[in-house]
Structure 1
Amino acid sequence: MTLLLTAPGGLPTTDLRLAQALADVAAVALVHWSPDPARPMDILTQAQAAVAAKATVEMAQGMLAEYGRLDPAQAMDALHTYCCRDGDRLTEVAQSLVRRTLAPETVLAALR
């Protein structure tokens, strides 16, 4: 994905986050690309699933940041460290945190 600006100064934070979300959706779509002709609903469903997964990860990141008094980058590091250590998928761990079936302190302990 390429972004071209007409003026110097970069993107505002909200636009940068939106661009990152769109790039993430595009990346997920490419990873799951199939040579079979796609139906319009297939593409829509995949895009919706990618956006929902990203939103869940961001909610979990926010929960960890608030619980552990961390900045968002540290919270994401804790989430990634926990997933890598236990071999879990990021979206599954995020869903467990959001559903409150996994305690934030358990994930944050991975940083220690």
Structure 2
Amino acid sequence: MTILTEQEATSLMHSCGIKCSKEKVRQWLDEGILKGSKEATGQYFVGEDDVYNFLEYYRWEGTAFEKGINEKEQIERLLKENIELKDELGKLNREIYELECRLRINPF
């Protein structure tokens, strides 16, 4: 297993599309959300596998698919997401209509 410094763990997260600072990574380490070993100097070292496990957790956190949430919470999150998607669809349809009018394209 590859062992990473805080900076290397941060860079790995960036390469996976997670926007975070080294300070945020240290916060996750301090809180135990991201597993790592703290040296006497205060420097953390993190296993590469632990970063990937964290990324899997982070990917689903706050969604209906987050591990450990009950069915009621899952349904509430799905309903909220559905409403947000309907709103977004309405905005996109209005934008399409406005562009068609501006370009004088007859809708089908």
Tell me the TM-score normalized by structure 1: 0.30
Larger Rg: 2
Between Structure 1 and Structure 2, which shows a larger proportion of strand residues? 2
Between Structure 1 and Structure 2, which shows a larger proportion of helix residues? 1
Tell me the TM-score normalized by structure 2: 0.31
